[in-house]
Chains A and B, each alone.
Chain A
């Protein structure tokens, strides 16, 4: 099983969500994050245009069976893309074990 952590633009969220549901991904979690680093993003506050170092993004976290990894990544890449700097990143790591709390079931079948 693999965990996919995708950092995407907030404005792309709805499209990515629909693409994932269309690819039959049953569940993913998401939350808002702020990123900080060298990247800058244009921002306007009270008429002043400037480059903010606080980058607002949305984090998606999806755990999938190994066989679904490629289609999930493709779905995210295609729908979250704009071609501009700041489109985001996807991290893939291995999940050693999964448990379903309701009945203690383990393994890939404990996923959705």
Chain B
């Protein structure tokens, strides 16, 4: 089983969500994050244009069966893409075990 953590633009979230559901990915978690680093983003406040160092993004966290990894990655990359700097990143790591709390079931079958 693999965990996919994707940092995407908030403006792309709805599209990505629909695409994932269409690709039969049954569940993922998401939350808002702020990123900070060298990257800057254009922002306007009270008529002043400037570059903000606080980048607002959305994090998606999806745990999938190994065989679904590639299609999930492809979906996110295709939909979340805009071609501009700041499109985001996807991190893939291994999930060692998964448990369904309802009945204690473990392994890939306990996923959605």
A residues within 8 Å of B by Cβ? 1, 3, 17, 21, 25-31, 61, 63, 93-102, 104, 110-112
- List the one stretch of B17-25, B42-50, B85-93, B97-105 in contact with chain A: B85-93
Q: Is B80 an interface residue (CB 8 A)?
A: yes
Count contacts on B: residues with CB < 8 A to the other chain.
33
Verify A95–B93 contact, CB threshold 8 A.
yes
Verify A17–B36 contact, CB threshold 8 A.
yes
CB contacts (< 8 Å) of A97 on chain B: these are 90-92
Bound state CA distance, A89 and B39, in angstroms?
Answer: 27
Count of chain A to chain B residue pairs whose CB atoms are closer than 8 Å in the complex: 84
**A102-B84, A110-B89 as given contacts; A31 in contact with B34, CB under 8 Å:** yes
Verify B38–A27 contact, CB threshold 8 A.
yes
Q: How far is the CB of B7 from chain A (nearest CB, A)?
A: 6
CB contacts (< 8 Å) of B76 on chain A: these are 101
Q: Is B8 an interface residue (CB 8 A)?
A: yes
Contact of A29 among B34, B73, B80, B93 (CB under 8 A): B34
Verify B33–A99 contact, CB threshold 8 A.
no
CB contacts (< 8 Å) of A93 on chain B: these are 93
CB contacts (< 8 Å) of A101 on chain B: these are 6, 8, 76-77, 80-81, 87-90
Bound state CA distance, A110 and B77, in angstroms?
Answer: 13
Q: How far is the CB of A102 from chain B (nearest CB, A)?
A: 4
